A and B are shown apart, each in its own frame.
Chain A
Amino acid sequence: GAVVSQHPSRVICKSGTSVKIECRSLDFQATTMFWYRQFPKQSLMLMATSNEGSKATYEQGVEKDKFLINHASLTLSTLTVTSAHPEDSSFYICSASQSDTQYFGPGTRLTVL
């Protein structure tokens, strides 16, 4: 199956700093990637749809100025959590579509102190 990677796998940062998470499709091109967030013992919640070469589409309640998404190429999307706060601590997961199926990255655990 298709492989999606994320970097870093784990990050700890101080409150007020910004954190960038990378999502790459390793063996296929993806015009669309998705960013999800999962809080402990909860489901995956879609945050935004990342479109190559255009602006991301954000879900209701997700602040686009706080969660900056850039889809610079067909294999890379980045999510930047700006001015992170402890409540942003979560597990962030990206996915990319190939042949009608979304394949997920391994996730990034963000802890904001």
Chain B
Amino acid sequence: DQQVKQNSPSLSVQEGRISILNCDYTNSMFDYFLWYKKYPAEGPTFLISISSIKDKNEDGRFTVFLNKSAKHLSLHIVPSQPGDSAVYFCAASASFGNEKLTFGTGTRLTIIP
């Protein structure tokens, strides 16, 4: 049972444009969400997070939006840069801190120069 889903396995975006990565979840107990970026043969790198009390969190070129009623979150990257090419995972947990993370299946983002 995949509780966190990323339905787009891949996405290609022109450099300078906006990249939008989507994530859906089914478990209503999830209240903290994170996005990670991962290169092959490396561990995930934390990008940005959002708690369920917010609907938006912004950090530089990265913005995460949360629609709790739809159980949907998205990551916006603008402007997209070639170095953003990687696999992006969304993850969810039932509380802050030391609770386990449930990861989505990942979306491979390719930025076209």
Looking across the interface, which residue of chain A has its beta carbon closest to that of B97? A100
B45 x A49 contact (CB < 8 A): no
Query: Across the interface, which residues of A come within 8 angstroms of B98, CB to CB?
Result: 31-32, 49, 97
The residue from B45, B100, B105 contacting A34, defined by CB atoms under 8 A apart:
B100
Task: Please encode chain B, from 94 to 113, with 1 for each CB lying within 8 Å of some chain A CB and 0 for all others.
Answer: 00111011111110000000
Q: Tell me if A's interface is mostly helix, strand, loop or mixed.
A: strand
Q: Given A97-B97, A100-B96: A44 and B46 within 8 A (CB)?
A: no
For residue B64, CB closer than 8 A to chain A, the reply is: no
For residue B42, CB closer than 8 A to chain A, the reply is: yes
Q: 15 other contacts beyond A44-B44, A102-B46, A107-B43, with CB at 8 A cut-off? A: A4-B43, A43-B89, A43-B103, A43-B104, A46-B101, A46-B102, A49-B100, A91-B41, A95-B43, A95-B101, A97-B98, A100-B32, A104-B45, A106-B42, A109-B41
Chain B 71-98 residues near chain A, CB threshold 8 A: 89, 96-98
Query: Across the interface, which residues of B come within 8 angstroms of A32, CB to CB?
Result: 98
The number of residues on chain A lying at the interface, defined by a beta carbon within 8 Å of a beta carbon of chain B, is 26
A1 x B46 contact (CB < 8 A): yes
Query: Across the interface, which residues of B come within 8 angstroms of A54, CB to CB?
Result: none
Query: Across the interface, which residues of A come within 8 angstroms of B106, CB to CB?
Result: 43
Q: How far is the CA of A30 from the CA of B14 in the complex (A)?
A: 40
Which residues of A are in contact with B by a Cβ distance under 8 Å? 1, 4, 6, 31-32, 34, 42-46, 49, 59, 91, 93, 95, 97, 100-107, 109
Looking across the interface, which residue of chain B has its beta carbon closest to that of A51? B98
Q: How far is the CA of A31 from the CA of B97 in the complex (A)?
A: 11
Query: Across the interface, which residues of B come within 8 angstroms of A34, CB to CB?
Result: 100-101
Min CB–CB distance B37 → chain A (angstroms)? 11
16 sample A-B contacts, Cβ–Cβ < 8 Å, listed by A number:
A42-B105, A43-B103, A43-B105, A43-B106, A44-B89, A44-B103, A95-B43, A95-B101, A100-B32, A101-B46, A101-B49, A102-B34, A102-B101, A104-B36, A107-B41, A107-B43
